[in-house]
C-alpha cells in the first residue's frame, strides 16, 4: 500500500474519496473544489446532528464517465478536531469501504485545525487501523471483505505539507498497533508464552532489535520468585522476553518499557467467574504494546537507548499453583504475600521493573491490563496513569495526548503504600476492592528505587471493546503503543 500527499487529485482516477464534514456544515480544508458542495449537501441530507463518525456514501459521476464513491464522515465540531479525532475519522471512512473493490482512495485532510504533517501521520495510522479484522480463524468466505486498497492520496489543498517523515511515522506506528492487536486477539492455545517469544523474535529481526529470551532457570537464577510464582500452575513454560534498541552511543538506557504478559488469566486458585473468561487471552496486551512499541522505535531509528521487557506466563490453577497466603521473594529482595492469585499482573511486573532498573534504566514505564477497577473509575475511554515524580507522570500523559490516546492521572500517596504492607512479609498483592487500581500501582511502586522516574499505565479499560465502533471493529484496540513511541521520540529529541 502506497501513501502520498497531493494538492489536488486532478488526473488521478479515484475509486473513493473520503471527506470529513464538520457539524457546522463545512467540509475539510483539503476537499477538492469540485467535491466540496456535494459533500456538504450529503452531510445536510443525513442531518447536521449526525452521530460523530457516522458515514454516508454517494456515487459521484465525473467527466469522462468515471464514478467515485464519495464517503462523507461526520467529524464533529471543527474546534474539537485533534489527532485522535483525525485518525478516527479516516478509520471510519475506510471502514465504510469494506466489501467494496476500492483500489485507489483519496482522503481530504483538515490542515487548518491540525498541522499538515500531524494530519498526514494520523491519516496513515487511521488507514492501518481500519484494515485490521479480528476474524482471522474463520474458514468460510468473508461476508464483508477488506477492500484491496493499493494507493492512498492525502489531499491537502493549498497547504504546504512535508509528508515523507509523517508517512514514515504513520506506517511504523500503524503497523505496530495492528501487530499488538493481532497478538492480543489470538486464542491462548495459539499464543502461549513460547509463541509470544517466537513472534517477538520475528519482530526483532524485521525491526533490527536485539532480543534475549530468558527461560525459567535463568529467571530463577536472577531471583525472580514473584514472576515465577504465577507460572507454577501451568504446564506452559514462562518466558521473559527482552528487546534492546541502541540508537545512540554509550551505555545505559534512556527509557525502559515493561509489559504484563499473562497469555491467559484464569485467576489461578482465586478463579474468575466463567462469564467472559474466554476474553482473558488479551491479558497480555501490555506485553504486546511494549514489544510493538519497541519495533516502531527501532524502525524509526530514534536516537535513544531503549529496553523493552515482557514477562510472559499463564495463570492457571493446578497441583503446583500458588495458593492464597503463599510468600515469595521478588527480584528486588522484597518478600511478597499473595493474598489473591487473581492479582497476578503486579507479581510479574515487579520483577520486570527491577530487571529493567538493574540493566541501567532510570526512566521506566510499565503497561498492563492490571485491574477492572480502573474501568470502574474511568470507563472505556481513558487509561489511568500513576507514578513519580509528578513531572514524569505529566510527561507520559502529554505523550498520550499528542499521540491521540487519552490518559488520566490517578493518585498514589503514602496511605495506599501503607495499606499494602503485609503482616508476615514486606508487601501483599491485594488490599481489598476499594481503590483496587491504586493498590495495584502501590504494589509496583514498592520495588521502584527513589532515583527512578516511573509511570504505570493501567490499560484494562481501553484494551478491548466487545462491540463494534464506527471506526474500529470489536476486539483488541492496541492501546499505549502510540504513547510509547511519542514518549520515546520526545526523550530522543531532548538528547539531540
Furthest-apart CA atoms within the chain: distance in Å: 82
DSSP 8-class letter at 469:
B
Question: SS3 string of 125-191?
Answer: HHHHHHCCCCCCCCCCCCCCCCCCCCEEEEECCCCCCCCHHHHHHHHHHHHHHHHHHHHHHCCCCCC
Side-chain half-sphere CA neighbours of 250 within 13 A: 11
Rg of the chain in Å (alpha carbons): 23
Residue matched to cell numbers 481530504: 108
Closest CA to 117 of 164, 75, 172, 78: 164
DSSP string for 347-416: HHHHHHHHHHHHTTBSEEEEEE---HHHHHHHTTS-EEEEEESHHHHHHHHHHHHHHT--EEE----HHH
Q: Are strands 151-155 and 305-315 parallel, antiparallel or unpaired?
A: unpaired
What distance in Å separates the CA atoms of residue 98 and residue 148, rounded to the nearest whole number?
9
Which residues are within 8 A (CB) of 277 and not within 5 positions of it... i.e. 6 or more apart? 266
Cell of 294: 519497541
E strand segments, 284-338: 305-315, 327-329, 335-337
The residues annotated with a catalytic role in the active site are 272, 346
| Distance, CA of 386 to CA of 440 (rounded, Å) | 10
Do 207 and 298 meet the contact criterion of CB atoms below 8 Å apart?
yes
Amino acid at each position: 500500500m502506497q501513501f502520498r500527499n497531493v494538492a489536488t487529485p486532478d488526473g488521478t482516477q479515484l475509486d473513493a474519496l473520503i471527506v470529513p464534514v464538520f457539524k457546522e456544515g463545512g467540509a475539510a480544508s483539503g476537499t477538492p473544489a469540485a467535491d466540496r458542495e456535494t459533500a456538504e449537501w450529503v452531510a445536510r441530507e443525513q442531518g447536521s446532528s449526525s452521530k460523530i463518525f457516522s458515514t454516508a456514501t454517494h456515487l459521484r459521476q465525473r467527466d469522462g464517465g468515471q464514478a467515485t464513491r464519495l464517503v462523507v464522515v461526520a467529524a464533529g465540531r471543527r474546534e474539537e478536531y485533534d489527532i485522535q479525532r483525525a485518525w478516527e475519522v479516516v478509520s471510519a471512512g475506510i471502514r465504510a469501504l469494506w466489501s467494496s473493490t476500492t483500489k485507489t482512495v483519496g482522503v481530504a485532510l483538515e490542515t487548518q485545525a491540525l498541522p499538515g504533517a500531524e494530519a498526514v501521520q494520523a491519516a496513515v495510522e487511521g488507514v492501518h487501523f481500519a484494515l485490521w479484522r479480528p476474524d482471522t480463524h474463520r474458514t468460510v468466505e468473508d461476508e464483508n471483505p477488506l477492500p484491496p486498497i493499493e494507493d492512498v492520496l492525502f489531499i491537502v489543498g493549498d497547504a504546504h505539507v512535508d509528508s515523507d517523515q509523517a508517512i514514515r511515522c504513520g506506517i511504523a506506528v500503524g503497523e505496530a498497533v495492528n501487530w499488538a492487536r493481532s497478538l492480543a486477539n489470538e486464542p491462548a492455545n495459539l499464543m502461549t508464552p513460547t509463541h509470544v517469544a517466537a513472534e517477538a523474535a520475528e519482530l526483532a529481526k524485521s525491526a533490527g532489535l536485539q532480543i534475549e529470551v530468558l527461560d525459567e532457570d535463568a529467571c530463577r537464577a536472577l531471583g525472580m520468585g514473584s514472576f515465577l510464582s504465577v507460572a507454577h500452575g501451568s504446564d506452559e513454560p514462562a518466558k521473559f522476553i527482552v528487546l534492546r534498541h541502541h540508537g545512540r552511543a554509550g551505555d545505559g538506557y534512556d527509557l525502559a518499557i515493561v509489559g504484563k504478559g499473562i497469555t491467559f488469566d484464569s485467576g489461578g486458585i482465586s478463579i474468575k467467574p466463567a462469564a467472559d473468561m474466554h476474553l482473558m487471552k488479551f491479558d497480555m496486551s501490555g506485553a504486546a504494546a511494549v514489544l510493538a512499541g519497541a519495533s516502531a522505535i527501532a524502525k524509526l531509528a530514534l536516537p535513544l537507548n531503549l529496553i523493552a521487557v515482557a514477562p510472559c506466563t499463564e495463570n492457571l490453577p493446578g497441583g503446583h499453583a500458588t495458593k492464597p497466603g503463599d510468600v515469595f521473594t521478588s527480584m528486588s529482595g522484597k518478600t511478597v504475600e499473595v493474598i489473591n492469585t487473581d492479582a497476578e499482573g503486579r507479581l510479574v511486573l515487579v520483577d520486570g521493573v527491577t530487571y529493567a532498573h538493574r540493566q541501567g534504566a532510570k526512566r521506566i514505564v510499565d503497561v498492563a491490563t492490571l485491574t477492572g477497577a480502573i474501568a470502574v473509575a474511568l470507563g472505556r475511554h481513558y487509561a489511568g496513569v500513576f507514578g513519580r515524580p509528578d513531572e514524569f507522570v505529566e510527561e507520559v500523559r502529554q505523550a498520550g495526548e499528542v499521540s491521540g490516546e487519552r490518559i488520566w492521572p490517578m493518585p498514589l500517596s503514602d496511605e495506599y503504600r501503607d495499606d499494602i504492607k503485609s503482616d508476615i512479609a514486606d508487601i501483599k498483592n491485594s488490599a481489598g476492592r476499594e481503590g483496587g487500581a491504586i493498590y495495584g500501582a502501590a504494589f509496583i511502586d514498592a520495588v521502584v528505587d527513589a532515583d527512578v522516574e516511573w509511570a504505570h499505565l493501567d490499560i484494562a479499560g481501553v484494551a478491548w471493546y466487545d462491540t463494534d465502533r464506527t471506526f474500529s471493529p470489536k476486539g483488541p484496540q492496541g492501546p499505549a503503543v502510540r504513547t510509547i513511541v511519542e514518549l520515546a521520540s520526545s526523550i530522543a529529541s531532548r538528547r539531540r
